[in-house]
C-alpha cells in the first residue's frame, strides 16, 4: 500500500523531477483537465466534485504514509497537493462554462488559473503561509495548496463577473 501512496503523492513520478516539480505538476494537471473538459467533452460536474473530494481526503492518508520515504517535513517530491490546488479553479471553470458565465476565451481562463495558483502557492499570502509555517506535516502540505487554490478560484470568479 505504501508504494501506491508514494505513487499518488508524487503524482505518478512527476514529483521526482529535479527542476520545478510543483510547477510542472500544476501545468500537467491544467493540461489534463483541459483535454478532459474542452477536447474530450467530459463535463460531468458532479463526478468532478465527488472525485476531487475523494482525492482530497485520501491524499491526507497517502501523504502521511509517504512522508517517511523522504528526508524533510515538506518533501518537494510530494506534489499531489499541487494537483488538488490546481484542480480547484479548473472545476470552477467547468461550472462557469456550464452556466454561461465565461465571456472570454476559455483557454485564457485556464492560463490565468495556472498563473494565479502558482503565484499564490509561491508567494504564500495568509492563510497559505499559516499552513505552510505552522503545520509541518501532511496536513500543512495539502492545506497550503488548498488555500492557494481557493484564492485562485476567487480571482477566476471575479474575472468571470467583470467580463
For residue 82, give the nearest of 122, 110, 51 by alpha carbon.
122
Place 72 in a pLDDT band, splitting at 50, 70 and 90.
Answer: confident
For residue 29, give the nearest of 106, 117, 125 by alpha carbon.
117
Count how many residues are written for the chain.
163
* pLDDT of 122: 95
Distance in Å from the first CA to the final CA of the chain: 47
What are the structural domain ranges in the chain? 2-162
State pTM to two decimals: 0.94
Buried-state track 57-69, b at ≥16 Cβ within 10 A, e below 16: eebbebbbbbbee
Query: Is 80 exceeded by the pLDDT of residue 71?
Result: no
Place 74 in a pLDDT band, splitting at 50, 70 and 90.
Answer: confident
- Tens of pLDDT, residues 56-68: 999 999 999 998 8
Q: Do the Cβ atoms of 122 and 147 come closer than 8 Å?
A: no
- Tens of pLDDT, residues 90-144: 999 999 999 999 989 999 999 999 999 999 999 999 999 999 898 989 999 999 9
Q: How many CB atoms lie within 10 A of CB 82?
A: 27
* pLDDT of 21: 95
Amino acid at each position: 500500500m505504501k508504494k501506491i501512496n508514494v505513487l499518488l503523492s508524487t503524482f505518478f513520478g512527476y514529483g521526482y523531477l529535479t527542476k520545478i516539480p510543483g510547477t510542472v505538476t500544476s501545468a500537467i494537471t491544467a493540461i489534463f483537465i483541459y483535454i478532459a473538459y474542452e477536447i474530450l467533452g467530459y463535463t460531468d460536474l458532479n463526478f468532478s466534485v465527488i472525485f476531487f473530494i475523494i482525492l482530497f481526503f485520501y491524499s491526507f492518508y497517502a501523504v502521511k504514509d509517504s512522508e517517511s520515504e523522504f528526508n524533510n517535513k515538506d518533501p518537494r517530491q510530494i506534489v499531489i497537493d499541487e494537483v488538488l490546488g490546481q484542480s480547484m479553479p479548473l472545476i470552477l471553470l467547468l461550472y462557469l462554462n456550464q452556466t454561461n458565465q465565461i465571456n472570454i476565451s476559455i483557454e485564457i481562463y485556464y492560463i490565468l488559473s495556472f498563473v494565479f495558483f502558482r503565484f499564490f502557492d509561491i508567494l504564500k499570502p495568509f492563510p497559505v503561509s499559516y499552513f505552510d509555517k505552522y503545520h509541518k506535516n501532511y496536513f500543512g502540505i495539502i492545506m497550503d495548496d488548498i488555500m492557494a487554490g481557493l484564492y485562485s478560484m476567487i480571482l477566476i470568479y471575479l474575472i468571470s463577473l467583470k467580463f
